[in-house]
């Protein structure tokens, strides 16, 4: 992680009110996929899931924006 959890909470609480139960989700900096051997990127159709024990799973499909626009035009 680029910032510690404490630093993230500090930054976020500087411009928004954090309440009990709020979830902070972080991402991966640009370029990480390129640094992998072999390189790896998310592709259309991949599923990203985050699970919190005893609460549930948040599941999001990855969609290629260009492919979606092309499908709308066709």
Report residue 60's pLDDT band, with 50, 70 and 90 as the boundaries: very high
Compute CA distances 71 → 8, 38, 43, 47, whole Å.
Answer: 39, 30, 16, 20
Report residue 18's pLDDT band, with 50, 70 and 90 as the boundaries: very high
Report residue 14's pLDDT band, with 50, 70 and 90 as the boundaries: very high
Model's pTM, two decimal places? 0.55
Within 13 Å of residue 21, how many CA atoms lie on the same side as its CB? Answer: 1
Q: Where are the domains of the chain?
A: 1-41, 43-74
CB-CB contact of 63 with 44 (8 Å) = yes
Task: Say whether pLDDT at 59 is over 90.
Answer: yes
What is d(CA 69, CA 30) in angstroms, rounded to the nearest whole number? 23
As beta bridge partners, residue 51 has 57
Q: What spatial distance separates the first Cα and last Cα of the chain, rounded to whole Å? A: 42
């Amino acid at each position: 992680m680029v910032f510690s959890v404490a630093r993230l909470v500090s930054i976020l609480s500087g411009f928004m009110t954090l309440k009990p139960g709020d979830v902070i989700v972080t991402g991966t900096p640009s370029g990480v996929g390129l640094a992998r051997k072999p390189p790896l990127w998310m592709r259309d159709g991949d599923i990203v899931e985050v699970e919190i024990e005893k609460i549930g799973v948040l599941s999001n499909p990855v969609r290629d924006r260009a492919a979606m626009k092309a499908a709308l035009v066709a």
